[in-house]
Amino acid sequence: MVREFHFENRTHLFTALTAECLDILSESLSKQGGATLLVSGGGTPVPLYEALSRTELAWKKIKVALVDERWVDQQHTASNEALIKRSLLINNAKAASFIGMKTADKHASKGQSETEAQYRALPQPFTVALVGMGADGHTASLFPHADGLGKALKAESDQLTCAINAKPSPVTGPNTERLSLTLAGLLKCERLIILITGEDKLAVFDQAMKPGSVEEMPIRALLHQEKVPVELYWAP
């Protein structure tokens, strides 16, 4: 079951989503003594990250980890790690622990085992994951027909992370080599939140909500499962 929350503008969306994330993390801190926040890159969630960074959470008890990463160095403009460090891990949130995905290995396939070990060390279930969706129906770095996608979409796998080589497209840009949480990894979360904006993305989401090929629109793997609650936050 997917719950949809539509807002008339992005200001209202980010106000509501910041409050919701604050509630989710606060509850986990209260009940579990800690929390794990899985985050995505891209420009859309930056206002959320900046707002969360100023909240009075017990950030030293929160672990922040990536949903996916382009296989580029942190100094690269496309690095999700760099984006998270400059937009979320600032202000009060500087006290949080951070787990990245990029290793010193030349290729994601070689670095995957090291990253896998780091993610396995995180407390499970993960508290909440914030994911986006591309115009091609991808989520995390689970791109349509990508090399590695079949393995990554196995819901019963014990593998949390997977190397992905996406088919080049306007959506992927030049950085097609990625490391991503697998479907099984995403389903280790207590909550999944999809954040998208714009009428075009909403049309893609509505299409993905209909039955169809998961390989064509990998986000369907999240939308058509019943293991983890999924919420959509959208504004024009």
Phi and psi dihedrals of 29, rounded to 5? Answer: -60, -40
Split into its structural domains, the chain has a count of 1
Say which CATH number the domain at 121 has: 3.40.50.1360
Domain that holds residue 80: 2-235
Give the per-residue pLDDT at 122.
98
pTM of the model: 0.97
The pLDDT tens digits of the residues spanning 184-209 come to 999 999 999 999 999 999 999 999 99
Q: How far apart are CA 38 and CA 139, in angstroms?
A: 13
Quick one: pLDDT band at residue 1, thresholds 50, 70, 90?
confident
Instruction: Please give the share of the chain, as a percent, with pLDDT higher than 70.
Output: 100
Q: What's the pLDDT tens digit per position in 140-193?
A: 999 999 999 999 999 999 999 999 999 999 999 999 999 999 999 999 999 999
Write the pLDDT tens digit of every residue in 62-115: 999 999 999 999 999 999 999 999 999 999 999 999 999 999 999 999 999 999
